Chains A and B, each alone.
Chain A
């Protein structure tokens, strides 16, 4: 499949948008049953949108940055009249009455939604094994997980069903599947992309971001969806940054820190890839320093109190009253209990209870309160590091893609998969995962580049250096 940039250029040049749409539909038909990537394929909607883009071109109008580019959407993004499930039985059959802001922006830029992709229920998980509609398989090795929670969106791009897709990242849910599927994945600065219409998991951590094969396509997609939105009060007021124009800026003169805590404990093949990436940036003119940020070790514990606490509050709205499914009961409390008990899966229940406990009287200070203070320390530690360097490099995940069932019985083992990705969510800063080299079983390895808020352009430029050195562009 062509890149998003190539498709948009071809469509602007007069090629029918239906060409890429039909290619996408053919790829979906070929492997969706095997891989379980899309929960809903919007064939008619995609063809109609392609016809609309063609009509715009005929009239001499520019359809936008993503003219005729097929895209896959994680199924926690609201789409008017199109089922939106969060991979949960509690929302099965629900059709939102409005679009997420990112969906409106994609349409305004000429992109064509092919449908909705599988995820861990309510974005809680690291493998898509928590979906109520069955796991997604890794297109590179169907015996292994694609990562999660945005596993379907990662698999859609990795299997060339669409050139780009959107996911959401609360503790690594874009970067971890990107690493495991050999893709570029971006967790933008908190507030850069509107969360309006993203069904909330942990509101102070959630952020929507792109998946793509290349750094340029990821930059293009982020540029198309970023920018202030009055419908999201946490949206940053500044104008949309220019990203694509900077991907070839390189890293000459940039100071890069290799941070021990973002590598320690990773498998040998992953450590080797990170070290090689450091050498590559050095050869390209960056200055390398070694840093230790001990506070990062506390991230996992703080995250697994803060995220469940926010989730327990956010998911209180799923009570069988206004939307989704209802299981009847003799009174309203019995109805709500029956609805939630039947509607939520095991991991969602686990996190709701963990969060409820962390917020409950008598435990609030010891758990949630303490975690919020750790979050302050984390932000200060990053700020101190960024006084000395322009960016930080580390591993995205401790290992390459793992096999199905290998971590499902031990929640803590699954949570440890997020140890390198979580700190940046707590700090609200920008991070990119870029594929660099391969490890066990010839599977891809992801390297993470972290920077302060709104440093995306700088990170894309560094990721591009690694992409070229890795022979991917």
Chain B
């Protein structure tokens, strides 16, 4: 068995996933995720060279519809469910800094 992931790994992954962890959570998740990954190591010992990966059970190809105009959702009820709206658009806090 190789090493389960480190606390730094968990902190990094949490950052990528836009989650904030407390010290306690960091310790607990490191232990729990490590245990799950140790279990998953029965896969890494397999010789799967030459086996094609499967991402979808029936190997579907792209499905496209005819390029015809058709009705879609009315924007009003969609925007009515948003946390913040401005001028008929979703509003979010500042994304980039002020101009220097």
Contacts and interface: CB of A to CB of B under 8 A. Distances in A.
A321 B18 contact: no
A349 B19 contact: yes
A370 interface: yes
B58 A428 contact: yes
Given A97-B81, A302-B43, A190 B57 contact: yes
B43 A370 contact: yes
A354 B77 contact: no
Contacts, number: 156
A331 B60 CA distance: 40
Contacts of A234: 56, 60
A429 B52 CA distance: 19
Contact of B20 (A233, A338, A376): A338
A323 B18 contact: no
B16 interface: yes
B52 A373 contact: yes
Interface residues of B, number: 49
Nearest to A428: B57
Nearest to B91: A321
Interface residues of A, number: 70
A127 to B, nearest CB: 17
A98 B74 CA distance: 10
Considering residues A230, A233, A353, A428, which has the most beta carbons from chain B within 10 angstroms of its beta carbon? A353
Nearest to B96: A331
Interface string A275-318: 00000000000000000000001101110110000001000000
Contacts of A360: 13, 16
A366 B36 CA distance: 14
B90 A330 contact: no
Interface string A361-379: 0000011011111111101
A158 B72 CA distance: 39
Contacts of A369: 53
A96 B38 CA distance: 40
B48 to A, nearest CB: 4
A373 B48 contact: yes
B57 A341 contact: no
B14 A98 contact: no
Interface string A216-249: 0000000000000010011010000000000000
A357 B95 contact: no
B2 to A, nearest CB: 9
Given A337-B20, A344-B19, A411-B32, A374 B43 contact: yes
Contacts of B54: 372-373, 375-376, 379
A17 interface: no
Contacts of B37: 354, 357, 367
A377 B48 contact: yes
A331 B81 contact: no
A353 B95 contact: no
A331 B94 contact: yes
A467 to B, nearest CB: 28
A204 B56 contact: yes
A302 to B, nearest CB: 7
A94 interface: yes
B33 A354 contact: yes
A92 B42 CA distance: 39
A334 B90 CA distance: 17
A89 interface: no
Considering residues B60, B78, B83, which has the most beta carbons from chain A within 10 angstroms of its beta carbon? B83
Contacts of A371: 40, 43
Interface in B42-82: 42-44, 46, 48, 51-58, 60, 62-63, 65, 73-74, 77-78, 80-82
B48 A353 contact: no
Contacts of A337: 18-20
Interface in A315-360: 319-326, 328-338, 340-341, 344, 349-350, 352-354, 356-357, 360
26 contacts: A95-B81, A97-B78, A204-B56, A300-B39, A304-B36, A305-B40, A305-B43, A320-B83, A340-B17, A340-B18, A349-B17, A350-B32, A353-B10, A353-B17, A353-B29, A354-B36, A357-B37, A370-B44, A372-B54, A373-B51, A374-B48, A375-B54, A376-B53, A377-B48, A379-B54, A428-B57
Given A97-B80, A322-B82, A412-B39, 13 more contacts: A236-B58, A297-B42, A298-B42, A321-B82, A322-B90, A357-B9, A373-B51, A374-B43, A376-B53, A411-B36, A426-B57, A427-B57, A428-B58
What are the 10 A-B residue pairs with the smallest beta carbon separation, nearest first?
A428-B57, A372-B53, A326-B83, A233-B63, A373-B48, A97-B77, A373-B51, A375-B54, A376-B54, A341-B20
